[in-house]
Structure 1
Amino acid sequence: MTELQILPVHGVPEIRPGDDLAEILAARVELRDGDVLAVTSKIVSKAEGRARPGPRQDAVAEETVRVVARRGDLRIVENRQGLVMAAAGVDSSNVAAGEVLLLPERPDDSARGLRARLRELTGASVAVLLTDTFGRPWRVGQTDIAIGAAGLDPLTDHRGRQDAHGNLLEVTLNAVADEIAGATELVKGKADQVPAAVVRGLAHLVTAEDGPGAAALVRSPENDLFRYGSRDVLFARRTVRSFTDEPVDPDAIRRAVSAAVTAPAPHHTTPWRFVVVESDGTQKRLLDAMAEAWAQDLRGDGFTEEQIGKRLRRGEVLRQATTLVVPCLVADGAHPYPDARRSEAERSMFLVAMGAGVQNLLVALAVEGLGSAWVSSTLFCPDVVRQALDLPDNWSPMGAVAVGHPAVAPTERPPRDPDDFMVRR
């Protein structure tokens, strides 16, 4: 069993821009080959001149790439370093009044530079970690993590090994850099003026090369099951018109429908029905019948065959999709009224509820990592759709949703000013 020592580095003075941090630390601790030196990112930032004047919220906004969640003044954001953390890592403690401190601009490069300078000064081959305090979404309290690393592989891969019972380890990937960073916080502490610590006993983890850095600990967007925070989720929906051949998980559709039916509806009714078209034969029969009905309508309107062909191609997105979902309105709970005005209002209430259900469906599909496109064509030939799908007469098709895995990354949505869509009275 490995025996560890964690040694606090005492006597570190106030760090100022341009200070030789390696020289200051090397003068206060004896470094040996195989040691791991954990340094709080704050003193690295100070040495690199990352202090800024002005309000903290302004600095947070400037350092934010993506807002993941927001509640009151609290923001969880992705910052320029690719880290998802509170307030973009901007710190207002232990700095001059009126100033804030940003994280090192390139934490891995800072760790590599510090390691090289320590080797030059001491001759010791050590690993260097830059640490910062970090909250966890499902745990109360904070711990330290590694935001920069050099001379140590930040991950230890146990996949493919066997445990003591002979079971194959399939997902065990230890974030060893974060484990070391958290351990050093036990002897550092924000209020104790101990900004660095040496971990001794992990020489087997220290490498000759600088390694991939702590950037290897940041999960890629495509592998992030929790990519969308509470603020992101609505903006994640895009209209996708190109799909791969990868099949859609039926359970993902079920979960999306489960979200869809949480929409509000009048009179405590449940007016949503979602016809999931998974069979290639059924999909072809439905789309062929719809195309023919549309072509007949267009001929009746005087369009040429060439014009008709162009318009029919607009519906090709439905043929590309792995799965189709046809939302249907079933207004069984609508109240009857003797006059047209109130009957129309009643119908409108149910249509609004149907739209809310479809929107919930589209957003939930995006959260599942699926692309979708709502196409209105079934609204123009409801009888054809009912016949092709063998639906009851009181089911009103409300368009069709093409569902699949996007073939290309979605484009950025142009920003829209909400004031352009608001009227105040």
Structure 2
Amino acid sequence: MTGLPAYRVWALPGIPEVRTGDDIAKLIASAATADGLPGLADGDVLMVTSKILSKAEGRVVQADDREAAIDAEAVRVVARRGPLRIVENRLGLVMAAAGVDASNTPAGTVLLLPEDPDASARRIRTGLRDTLGVNVGVVVTDTFGRPWRSGLTDVAIGAAGVRVLDDLRGGTDAHGNPLSATVVATADELAAAGDLVKGKAAGLPVAVVRGLSHVVVPDVGAGAGDGAGGADEGARALVRDAADDMFRLGTSEAVREAVTLRRTVREFTDDPVDGGAVRRAVAAAVTAPAPHHTTPWRFVLLESAESRVRLLDAMRDAWIADLRGDGFTEENIARRVRRGDVLRKAPYLVVPCLVMDGSHTYPDARRNASEREMFVVAAGAGVQNFLVALAGERLGSAWVSSTMFCRDVVREVLGLPADWDPMGAVAVGRAAVAPSSRPVRDADAFVSVR
């Protein structure tokens, strides 16, 4: 069986209880050279549990400060269920309670993650080179839960001297098929292998993997330097960029962020708008509440430039005629028309319409007026759903009321039924500039309790 790919992994016994100020590299070197152990060799990779680094670096706080510690370590709440918080911490890691941990630490205390796990890994690697003269890789590990999967596993939160990612894109598989999306998280695989022998409660915080020297980069002391050839990036390279993260938030947090993101956008890029994204937003819109189990929404999608220009030209002419009838000067009219050009700047327009299908007719005008108000409110709820869903698709929008002032013109140009009432127009597109900051509104200012 010789010549087949293989590796060995073993836990390193003899690591004492770690205290603040201890030199982890010296503790590992002493344990690794004990009688009966194989020692360390060039190309070995060490998996080091983050907790011993936290202890050595003094990252210990009192347990009654745990919530405050989580707050201090967290930069963003990803999901919350009861007291449990999944957060992004200051290292960019998404994990429960920001990694603040009450296990394997004296009663009454909790541990924070190392300040900089990559730097911690580099210190251990350098210390082992200086003490034992070996070129090893170091992976700092911590325990994670994972979306879609039950159970916990160790992953890499820090690394030095290890190619943390193995990018196979551009190659082919055994059948000659191109590999276009295959990037292997080598450091995470090493962390999980080490955890199989370290265990969670065995008091064995360090494991050694031998036989995978190809994942270890040249030694810093050999003149190549950390990061030789760009290979030693540290575990931060494993953290997915926000722009590429399709699962960045929990359900309720995603809804709240989409609502917050829903801002009026008046400057758009020329990027085309995905019609599928708009239709998904319409699907969200028609879940809004409505009276009498009706469906009072219709959405007219103006996907061609010709249809947009034809509608906007007709609306502009109708507006100019109204302004002239109101006695405005030609200069004032021109200025108002220019200010109203937000719809022309958008690459996509939607005209939401109200229909009264299913409405009730009453013998008195008061109840009939209230009936229409209910349908108008339902239309507004549908449009709000639509705008929020667009924000969730990372599309900007501006809901402009202009079609409500020339409904007959809109119906004629778009060939709409006589009972469809245009309820403004929504400009849709990619925002050309980031929206200005919005003052925080105190919800209590809008609440009245009886």
Question: Which band: TM-score by shorter chain?
Answer: over 0.9
Aligned pair partner of 1:38 in 27, 47, 51: 47
- 1:117-156 aligned at under 5 Å gives the runs 117-156=127-166
Structure 2: tracts of 5 or more residues without a match? 33-38, 219-225
Amino acid at match of 2:391: A
The structural deviation recorded for 1:410 is: 4.4
Q: Which secondary structure does the structure 1 equivalent of 2:344 belong to? A: helix
The structural deviation recorded for 1:342 is: 1.8
Aligned twin of 2:11: 8
For 1:37 and 1:306, the matched residues in 2 are separated by 76
Aligned twin of 1:336: 361
Q: Which region of structure 1 is more displaced relative to structure 2, 316-325 or 223-232?
A: 223-232
For 1:95 and 1:412, the matched residues in 2 are separated by 43
For 1:112 and 1:96, the matched residues in 2 are separated by 27
Describe the shift of the 1:42–1:395 C-alpha distance in structure 2 as closer, same or farther (beyond 3 A).
Answer: same
Aligned twin of 2:182: 172
For 2:375 and 2:233, the matched residues in 1 are separated by 56
Deviations 1:323-345 (A, max 9, x none): 11111111211111222222222
The structural deviation recorded for 1:369 is: 2.3
Describe the shift of the 1:314–1:71 C-alpha distance in structure 2 as closer, same or farther (beyond 3 A).
Answer: farther
Aligned twin of 1:405: 430
Query: What is the TM-score of this pair, normalised by structure 2?
Result: 0.90
Describe the shift of the 1:6–1:271 C-alpha distance in structure 2 as closer, same or farther (beyond 3 A).
Answer: same
- 1:27-176 aligned at under 5 Å gives the runs 27-29=30-32, 30-53=39-62, 54-176=64-186
1:331–1:350 contact (8 Å) kept in structure 2? yes
For 1:311 and 1:160, the matched residues in 2 are separated by 55
Q: Which region of structure 1 is more displaced relative to structure 2, 53-62 or 41-50?
A: 53-62
Q: Which has the larger radius of gyration?
A: 2
Query: What is the TM-score of this pair, normalised by structure 1?
Result: 0.95
For 2:274 and 2:265, the matched residues in 1 are separated by 18
Q: Which secondary structure does the structure 1 equivalent of 2:201 belong to? A: helix
1:223 and 2:244 matched? yes
Aligned pair partner of 1:415 in 414, 436, 440: 440
2:25–2:123 contact (8 Å) kept in structure 1? no
Amino acid at match of 1:224: D
Structure 1: tracts of 5 or more residues without a match? none
1:133–1:145 contact (8 Å) kept in structure 2? yes
Describe the shift of the 1:3–1:399 C-alpha distance in structure 2 as closer, same or farther (beyond 3 A).
Answer: same
For 1:110 and 1:166, the matched residues in 2 are separated by 41
Q: Which secondary structure does the structure 1 equivalent of 2:198 belong to? A: coil
Q: Which secondary structure does the structure 2 equivalent of 1:17 belong to? A: coil
Q: Which secondary structure does the structure 2 equivalent of 1:14 belong to? A: coil
Q: CA RMSD in A?
A: 1.8
Aligned twin of 2:254: 232
Aligned twin of 2:222: none
Aligned twin of 1:187: 197
Deviations 1:230-287 (A, max 9, x none): 2133333332222222211221122111121112211111111111101101101111
Describe the shift of the 1:144–1:264 C-alpha distance in structure 2 as closer, same or farther (beyond 3 A).
Answer: same
For 1:15 and 1:409, the matched residues in 2 are separated by 48
Q: How many residues align?
A: 425
For 1:413 and 1:123, the matched residues in 2 are separated by 57
1:375 and 2:391 matched? no
